[in-house]
Structure 1
Amino acid sequence: MIRISIIEQIGYREWTETIGTDREWKIQETQAKIYQEAQRIATKFGGFVLPLRYDYMTIISSNLTEDEEKEILEVVSSLSPVAVRLSSDLGTTPLESENNAWSHISSIEPGKLGHFGNGKEFVIVSHIDLNGLTPITQKIGTFRTYGKILQILEKINSIAQGNGGVAQYLGGDNILVLLPDSNYEDLVTKMISTDDLKAGIAIANKARDAMKLAAEALHEIRVTRNKRIVKKSFL
């Protein structure tokens, strides 16, 4: 099972409306600082923060303890302009874990956390990479390249979510996919079938280890140039 944690900044939208109309730069600056520190402390414990949106932060938190999650919450709380709370739960797929965490969050008091669920926790990820992005960018420019990546992301995310997974763009030519624990290799094969893509797949007890392994798998593909998918495991 995979653990997902959600941190809610309570009343974040209302806060943005109190700082005037010359505010977007301040919002972006605040978000960047919170994300940077949340990522720093989460990866210290082996987790990883997904940059989905900033009023709600999503953490891949398998095998993080309640005390470690509390420390992450305290760091975010020290930087957030509003009160925060954290909900953490398990599921057999990433989407189920997220839904389970969401089901508790409204009952958690500001400044507190809820750590729910028991079971064997691990993470399955795929790091998908678009071949030749630099020459593509040099030919058609940054904006149109980004549009191309978004089209690929939409296709990958459709396949992932249809099977309980989640895809996240990490910048550059990098797409991270949180995978369910059934038929995940077949899913990744389908994800990269129609574009010039390669994929590292990894299984580990914690998110940071899984992402490290997936990056190693991609490096192996680049060196050998005889495969499009390589799988590695820490389990």
Structure 2
Amino acid sequence: MSDSRDGARLVVVQIDDYGPWTTTPAPRRETDLQALQARLFATTADFFGDHDGYAFTSRYDNMIGVANGVDPSTFERLQERVRNRFPVSVSVGVGTARTPAQALDAAGAALQEAGSAQSADRREVLDHRVVDDATPGALTVAHFDVVDATGDLTDRVSPAVADRTVQRAVSTLDEILRDEHEAVTQFVGGDNVIAVCPSVSPDALSDVLRRVRERTGVDLQVGVGHGPTAHAAGDDAKHALEACRETGERVHGPWTVADD
């Protein structure tokens, strides 16, 4: 069972003063900007992966990470790596709180209070905020995907319709999980969505899936994992999702998490 004292450590990695670089000495080609953002995310994702964490693209110039097993000072090495490889620098906000949503808010507030993302005076800030003396503990990760996305979407409708359908489901899922469970939910490509959650019961997740289906017409399935790091919990969640695909279950997990 998870401990009610278990907290989450979320990270915001934000490019410093990115706007001027994109337009100096002249506006840069969009493909160049997209390529730089992709390479920067790959570097960030590798760094989090090396520390058993997760990284999400978010808006690319603002990336999100899950780092329950990582000391905040470790992100100095990420800043150094970015400085040495890219024409931009990054600031890092770290938040530790009882729930993922609270931790992400704290990480974002740390950067906002340090100065604007467009300020030339803000460079490589690293700040850690702790809410209510929380400490990072075990994590619950829920890995969702669309049931038979290939048969129902990819092979049947236009890419634009498929994309719009998936994004509508993701937005609805994100809203419910944030508002009612204080989870942080991120689209990770294809038809896959990962949510970092407080302890959540199978009945609660079944209800979430039902409401997404009623609002969007999209049928989701979810595998749930629980562990000391994002990697450990996420790996369990991936295996649980495979069990859904094999058995037809819509919700599967170890259920070492406490019922709501």
Superposition pairs for residues 140-159 of structure 1, below 5 Å?
A: 140-159=157-176
How many angstroms apart in 2 are the aligned matches of 1:197 and 1:11?
Answer: 39
1:94·1:166 contact (CA, 8 Å) conserved in 2? yes
2:220 aligned partner: 197
Change (3 A) 1:70 1:224: same
* Alpha-carbon displacement from aligned partner over 1:29-68 (angstroms, at most 9, x marks no partner): 1001111111111101101111101222211111112343
TM-superposed deviation, 1:76: 2.6
TM-superposed deviation, 1:70: 2.3
Q: Does the alignment pair 1:126 with 2:142?
A: yes
Give the 3-state SS of the residue equivalent to 1:13 in structure 2: helix
How many angstroms apart in 1 are the aligned matches of 2:25 and 2:167?
Answer: 32
TM-superposed deviation, 1:113: 1.8
1:111 aligned partner: 124
2:63 aligned partner: 57
Superposition pairs for residues 159-170 of structure 1, below 5 Å?
A: 159-163=176-180, 164-170=182-188
* Alpha-carbon displacement from aligned partner over 1:126-159 (angstroms, at most 9, x marks no partner): 1111111112211112221111101111210110
1:188 aligned partner: 205
1:204·1:234 contact (CA, 8 Å) conserved in 2? no
How many angstroms apart in 2 are the aligned matches of 1:97 and 1:147?
Answer: 30
2:118 aligned partner: none
2:9·2:136 contact (CA, 8 Å) conserved in 1? no
Letter in 2 for 1:107: A
1:230 aligned partner: 252
Change (3 A) 1:19 1:220: farther
2:10·2:67 contact (CA, 8 Å) conserved in 1? yes
1:40 aligned partner: 46
Give the 3-state SS of the residue equivalent to 1:139 in structure 2: coil
1:49·1:59 contact (CA, 8 Å) conserved in 2? yes
2:16·2:124 contact (CA, 8 Å) conserved in 1? no
TM-superposed deviation, 1:190: 2.3
Letter in 2 for 1:83: S
Give the 3-state SS of the residue equivalent to 1:158 in structure 2: helix
2:3 aligned partner: none
- Structure 1 unaligned runs (5+)? none
Identity among equivalent positions (%) equals 21
1:204·1:233 contact (CA, 8 Å) conserved in 2? no
Change (3 A) 1:19 1:122: farther
- Structure 2 unaligned runs (5+)? 1-6, 116-121
Give the 3-state SS of the residue equivalent to 2:35 in structure 1: helix
* Alpha-carbon displacement from aligned partner over 1:164-206 (angstroms, at most 9, x marks no partner): 222211111211112133x454442222112422100111111
TM-score, normalised via structure 1 length: 0.89
Give the 3-state SS of the residue equivalent to 2:142 in structure 1: strand
Change (3 A) 1:121 1:232: same
